[in-house]
Amino acid sequence: MDTRENNSPIFPQGDKASPDYFTGMTWVKMLVAADAGLNCQIGNVVFEAGARNNWHTHPGGQILIATDGVGYYQEKGKPIRLLHKGDVVKILPGVVHWHGASPDSAFTHIAINPNAQKGIVEWLQRVTDEEYNHFK
């Protein structure tokens, strides 16, 4: 019996994310499009080491499920939280936050955007290098 862990990604890498909303190389593969039946959007997001998205909010909230690597998550006014494979983050509607890879590791997560009828995302300013490098 082969007991080695399969290190292949679960989903294809997807398309490059817009540099307007992401710092560093990031790819997004949409898995479920929001529609009137489910009102939920699901995507797989792959960040290269050091990549992150801008500060943003989700009018309907968001759930992140870390699936590979080491990531960062931060809500405005709170310390950066380290994320590892298997971690789940529940983000309430309207909470200003950002997420991405740590400086030394790529990071992959599944992003679940419920209540899509309220809107998916409202993008804000970039996360500065000073903010990003402020992990304690």
Side-chain-facing half-sphere of 85: CA atoms under 13 Å: 8
Name the DSSP class of 129.
H
Q: What are phi and psi of 124, to 5 degrees?
A: -120, -155
Domain of residue 34: give its range.
15-132
Give how many domains the chain has, as a whole number: 1
Tell me the per-residue pLDDT of 37-47, one tens digit each, with 9 for 90 and over.
889 999 999 99
Residue 2 has pLDDT above 80, yes or no: no
Q: What is the pLDDT of residues 72-116, one digit of tens each?
A: 999 999 999 999 999 999 999 999 999 999 999 999 999 999 999
Q: What is the pLDDT of residues 21-79, one digit of tens each?
A: 999 999 999 999 988 788 999 999 999 999 999 999 999 999 999 999 999 999 999 99
> Do 54 and 125 touch, CB atoms closer than 8 A?
yes
- Residue 31: other Cβ atoms inside 10 A: 15
CATH number for the domain that contains residue 98: 2.60.120.10
What's the pLDDT at 5? 54
- Is residue 96 assigned to a domain? yes
